[in-house]
Structure 1
């Protein structure tokens, strides 16, 4: 995914106030030029799901990862200094198809684009343009580039949570979560021991030549952290995948980071499963928040499509509740594994034939 800033800078004379504002924006590595950001989308043989944000103000990409607390703090803070571009026109282009949508109050856009013929499996490029609604003739204020995934017809699809599922986050304790988020960076944060190896085995298991079992990462973390999470995933060589995060937050809401409405997580998982009705799914999460509840509900709604549920044991106080939910999952004929170490989850995957021994 690549976000492209406006190629039409303001030619008017900048006031002193404007110069001061520009100075502080530069200091914080923010831009006040319109920016279109397209996230990784997905599709099937009938339609593509394309989504992203338009910003009036957004952070510039981080280039250096010095492990200095103050630098890390400022780098995270600026992710929450975004200013969305609400109720504006975005033109989506895929191959020769064009569709125009309006952003919502959060500057978010999403479109379900019908396709006339099936696409080859893999990643396909997509473009979006921010179109001026007041300038005649029509003017493109900013452009963005992204990609959408057409999965190979493989053995299964994995849907994984992020925080405390593969990324050590301490989500059950807000003070610890904030301390890690605000003082570490995407290169200094750590995955759980053995989790990357397990995910790679799941991605490669019986997938066929030049194909992998696709991964979808669905989290209550907000879209502000998209680049942060993507950089962490790339740095740690996690399987390439599609990300479905939660509603943007402002700086005043940083204390609530990762505390999105969990029912929307069910909706995002449901959308993925409905997009691939003939596929089997593996769900991976943890017990720090609502994953066991959400996944048990997913199993009840889609028992024939869920192959297995993995829940990492993080929060001792939730153990009894989680065990009951896992028993309910098993009662619906779906395999489950409630584990403390990734090695145990890996052994379970071998035992039920998901991955080779």
Structure 2
């Protein structure tokens, strides 16, 4: 057997079969070394919510974006070759706070970190360590860094879906969705016309030069696609924000990508609303799946916090249902806009005073 040197001085013996497997994974740009991913968290003056994953196996970051179908196919499939690191210790460092949590069966960790003293608004660094619970002395197997957002005072915050809300995805038809996901990449895919300009106006409305109205992106897409979505958002100039995605899927489940459960998305939105109970929110989604149903439920429960609901018209078969749900939203005194083009949503935002141009 040979010995493989891991980061932080950790060594592991590996067989010939293991070496061949390691070689094949390297060709696919998949690492079988421990990895910690820390996603963008959020908080208020009392506590921070930090979350991420720990992996035994995960995809390396994509470095080149060649628009070749086969290359794009491999690049997406390798995102689902993850192997979580379950039930292990993760140590988090935020400012002067140190917190320990145990990852769940999916390798996911989440920590609610109390703040003895409020932190200033803005992005704050988070560091995470994956700690071995079997090696002595204590061994750090991997480290990761991320950020947590404490929003500046703002007129409102925005919670947006992703697929078919700003990213053209064809979510209503699984075959079309998979074709786009598996044959294109984060640089070749396109946002809807006018959506980026509308989001930028919402982010910058009624605020100073050094602050913006925060964006939270809550989606049925899995955490496997986090880097993919982040790359797309940054390339296309969408407002910087916090992402709340759905549980990981394995390669055998790739045909079910984007098919999350109704209540989990509602719960993620509710967590954001309850973190900022005195804040107004704008909800943005589409009618391809469950957004109208989820958002109507959010309005029923958190009426006073919802300023407006925007639903993009994607799926003609859902039009009647969506119109009825939008009427129920309006009946609660919450403004709504069911639109086919982002220019119409932008005009509505101007009309009700969300934006000033």
Residue of structure 1 equivalent to 2:242? 242
Residue of structure 2 equivalent to 1:74? 74
Residue of structure 2 equivalent to 1:35? 35
Residue of structure 1 equivalent to 2:100? 100
Partners of 1:131 and 1:115 in 2: CA distance: 24
Residue of structure 1 equivalent to 2:151? 151
Residue of structure 2 equivalent to 1:265? 265
Residue of structure 2 equivalent to 1:231? 231
The alpha-carbon deviation at position 11 of structure 1 amounts to 3.8
Residue of structure 2 equivalent to 1:23? 23
Residue of structure 1 equivalent to 2:56? 56
2:6–2:12 CA contact under 8 A, matched in 1: no
3-state DSSP of counterpart to 2:303: coil
**Deviation readout 1:261-281 (Å, 9 max, x if unpaired):** 121000000000000011100
Partners of 1:256 and 1:19 in 2: CA distance: 32
Give yes or no for the alignment of 1:115 onto 2:115: yes
2:296–2:328 CA contact under 8 A, matched in 1: yes
The 5 Å alignment of 1:274-285 reads: 274-285=274-285
RMSD between aligned alpha carbons?
Answer: 1.1
1:6–1:143 CA contact under 8 A, matched in 2: no
The 5 Å alignment of 1:297-308 reads: 297-308=297-308
Residue of structure 2 equivalent to 1:196? 196
**Deviation readout 1:54-76 (Å, 9 max, x if unpaired):** 00000000000000000000000
Residue of structure 1 equivalent to 2:205? 205
Partners of 2:139 and 2:13 in 1: CA distance: 21
Partners of 1:270 and 1:8 in 2: CA distance: 39
3-state DSSP of counterpart to 1:99: strand
TM-score normalised according to structure 1 size: 0.97
Partners of 1:173 and 1:239 in 2: CA distance: 28
The alpha-carbon deviation at position 12 of structure 1 amounts to 4.9
The alpha-carbon deviation at position 161 of structure 1 amounts to 0.1
Partners of 1:153 and 1:264 in 2: CA distance: 28
3-state DSSP of counterpart to 1:330: helix
The alpha-carbon deviation at position 341 of structure 1 amounts to 0.1
> Is there any run of 5+ residues in structure 2 with no aligned partner, and where?
none
| Shift in alpha-carbon separation, 1:275–1:196, aligned structure 2, 3 A | same
Residue of structure 1 equivalent to 2:334? 334
**Deviation readout 1:243-273 (Å, 9 max, x if unpaired):** 0000000001001000011210000000000
3-state DSSP of counterpart to 1:129: strand
3-state DSSP of counterpart to 1:304: helix
| Shift in alpha-carbon separation, 1:124–1:10, aligned structure 2, 3 A | closer
TM-score normalised according to structure 2 size: 0.97
Partners of 2:54 and 2:285 in 1: CA distance: 30
Query: May I ask how many residue pairs the two structures share in their alignment?
Result: 353
| Shift in alpha-carbon separation, 1:282–1:6, aligned structure 2, 3 A | farther
> Is there any run of 5+ residues in structure 1 with no aligned partner, and where?
none
Partners of 1:12 and 1:232 in 2: CA distance: 37
Partners of 1:11 and 1:37 in 2: CA distance: 21
4+ residue runs of structure 1 moved beyond 2 angstroms? 8-15
Give yes or no for the alignment of 1:132 onto 2:127: no
The 5 Å alignment of 1:163-182 reads: 163-182=163-182
Partners of 2:208 and 2:236 in 1: CA distance: 24
